[in-house]
Amino acid sequence: MMLNKARILARYGMTHAKQNTARTTGFSIVTPSIHPFHSMAKIQLQKQGPLDLSYDVIKSDTPRNGNVEKPGPPIIILHGLFGNKLNNRSIGRNLNKRLGRDVYLLDLRNHGSSPHSPVHNYGAMSEDVKHFITKHELNTQDGPIIVGHSMGGKVAMMLVLKNPQLCSMMVCIENAPVSLRPNIEFVEYIRALLEIVKDNGKTIQTLKQADERLAERIGGNELVRRFLLTTLKRVKTEGALGASSYTFHERIPLGTLKDAIVKGEIAAWPLDPTHERWTRPALFIRATQSQYVADEYLPLIGSFFPRFETRDIDAGHWVNAEKPGECAENIAEFVERHED
């Protein structure tokens, strides 16, 4: 039995991506290579129950094509690391308009307005989403269509692999079922953000000053820094004689996310296709200026998702923000074709 496990790990558990220092949109390019590396992270058995996630819903008021017909299964969209439900409003509105159905935008745990927890791994996050689907009775007909970007993509993959009858289709944007080395650059982002918080308003009181501090620490382009600053909130405090000042506080538990990154929880992929396969339609959207879904990963994707398809979009890793219309168009075409 130990020998069989070793064969499984040799075949599926040793693929990771080496991080290099090249930059395009301010984040590392991931260059695929094969090394004997296995993620530290495992699916943990949690005593804590699932969390109630914050969400927005884009309701479908008008039946598609003017026909009075039962709307199709709803769409649920999950954001990536440091993100929130607002990141996917453009894609959500496009899909709502094109497909004529409700679109739910979720905040994953420790992000946006959702509850915080010291536990942050794909097992726990996928259980939260499963709880959301059940609580809101979205698992009617063949189940909802689950869409996820980056970290949210791995949550979506985990969800359908662990609950094969729950969803009707799955779309993963810019991620693959592989274990990566923990991205230390993300840790540097968090350290820089916490420096702004710990400044306590002594030298940093405005968004411009916060951005300048981030630029000193992490460089990158302005769009990336603006995205990261959404994890902080600017708070006004009244001083003596009516004087006021501003400080920055954490919106989300940056320390918890830092621990999850360092421990390999974010970069992890703890499943193997000898135990989990999903045979319903799956779409993988790849950004051509990124290597998060490298050609080398396609055979492994096929092992987990034998009915998978790919679409390539000329953009960086944040393709959902750079080209939401093109993302939505590819998703809508995929959904319509498989529902016919």
Gap between the Cα atoms of 147 and 145, Å rounded: 7
Q: Is 155 helix (H, G, I), strand (E, B) or coil?
A: helix
CA distances from 61 to 10, 64, 72, 141, 321 (A): 51, 9, 13, 20, 25
Q: Is 245 helix (H, G, I), strand (E, B) or coil?
A: strand
Q: Is 239 exposed, middle or buried (0-12, 13-18, 19+ CB in 10 A)?
A: exposed
Tokens of 77: 């969209």
Which residue among 28, 54, 114, 150 is the active-site one?
150
Per-residue burial over 196-228, b if 16 or more Cβ lie within 10 Å, else e, is: bbebeeeebbeeeebbebbeebbebeeebbebb
Whether 131 is catalytic? no
3-state percent breakdown (helix, strand, coil) of the chain, nearest 5: 40, 20, 40
CA atoms within 13 A on the CB side of 334: 27
Tokens of 151: 């970290």
Whether 150 is catalytic? yes
Closest by CA to 196, choosing from 240, 156, 234, is 234
Phi, psi for residue 79 in degrees, rounded to 5:
-85, 180
* HEC assignment per residue over 94-118: HHHHHHCCCEEEECCCCCCCCCCCC
Gap between the Cα atoms of 232 and 36, Å rounded: 38
* Catalytic residue ranges: 150, 317
